[in-house]
Amino acid sequence: MTYMIKNLFISTLFFIAFAGFGIAQQATKVVPVKSQGEVTIKGTKSYTYYKLSDKKSTTLNINGPGKLTVITRVLLKEGEEKSLPFKIKYVKDEKKQTVKEIASLKVTKDFKSENKPVSVAEQLIINVPPGKHNYSFNKIESGEEICINFSYLKEPDPEWVDLKPINKLTEVSLLYTDTKKARMYYRISDKESFKVMLKPGDYLRLVVRSEFKQNDLPADKFRLVLKQNDTIKNTFDIKTKRCEKVVYQTEQKLIPGTLDEIYIKIPTNKGSKSNEKLLYEIILPDKSKTALIRLSIDQPVKPAAKP
């Protein structure tokens, strides 16, 4: 017990001082699984940053949900008072790319790196969805020395409860060959959408699998559209390929695609206190295609009543 308390105390001190940039409550240090070199930046304490390259990525693995804080600094030349504007690119799960534009950063007198001037910090917060994820970071066409470090605030895992559509859809049972467990999905197409009643603030997980015919190409892409009362709220681009670990329990002519997960937060109306449920539809607009989906809602377990 004494050992655990000592570790907790040391960790708390680290969290408060992390990166010399404010307070990250209960955040933990994240060490990349792949980096392009380390830089020690010294202030009242020493902090480890990781160099960015425009060709090779700095990569880390994160288990969501949570908030990933990325602290960026520039190592400048003696006499320089600020950096040039620059861009940082990060890619989630080797699919979704985001580019962050950062304006010039001024020199700070509070930090040095091997007697090089160091810029003030720029903070970027990335909302990490539930599940295991991979993030890779690069600078874009910059000749300056840009470095970053990371802290992570883990959030409670959602309590997912599957939702049924209010309209009649074909149910499809898929068998996972490694665990021998079956899961139920609903088939949608351009003619049959998944309809459900939702209220503002609902947090959803949409699990998607394409369906391949025997003579289809081994990889495919399609779109899903989320509508509310005939108004498009979101469009999702899905890339998929044939899955080898999942098979149909009853159908022999189709091959299920790999799984993709989409997380959706139903927006709240500013100034509105209404929790009225509204009709939403998940639509597959691409003709001649079908997909299998499963929709779940985060429904935290209620605390047990006191005796």
For residue 95, name the pLDDT band (cuts at 50, 70, 90): confident
Same domain, 176 and 213: yes
What's the confidence (pLDDT) of residue 51? 96
Residue-wise pLDDT tens digits, 17-47: 344 444 445 789 999 999 999 999 998 899 9
* Domain total of the chain: 2
Last residue of some domain: 113, 130, 154? 154
Domain assignment of residue 12, yes or no: no
Question: Average pLDDT in the 132-149 region?
Answer: 94
For residues 163 and 130, give the distance between their C-alpha atoms in angstroms, rounded to a whole number. Answer: 18
Buried b vs exposed e over 1-28: b needs ≥16 C-beta within 10 Å? eeeeeeeeeeeeeebeebbbbeebeebe
Are residues 121 and 226 located together in one domain of the fold?
no
Same domain, 134 and 165: no
* Single residue among 127, 154, 181 that ends a domain in this structure: 154
**pTM across the whole model:** 0.73
In tens, the pLDDT along 272-297 reads 566 788 999 999 998 889 999 999 99
**122 and 146 share a domain?**
yes
120 and 62, same domain (yes or no): yes
Domain span at 197 = 160-298
172 and 101 in a common domain: no
244-253 pLDDT tens trace: 899 998 887 8
Please tell me whether residues 142 and 172 are part of one structural domain: no
- Looking at 154, 176, 202, the residue that finishes a domain is 154
CATH code for position 97: 2.60.120.260
pLDDT on residue 96:
86
Confidence of residue 149 (pLDDT cuts 50, 70, 90): very high
Q: Domain for residue 178, yes or no? A: yes
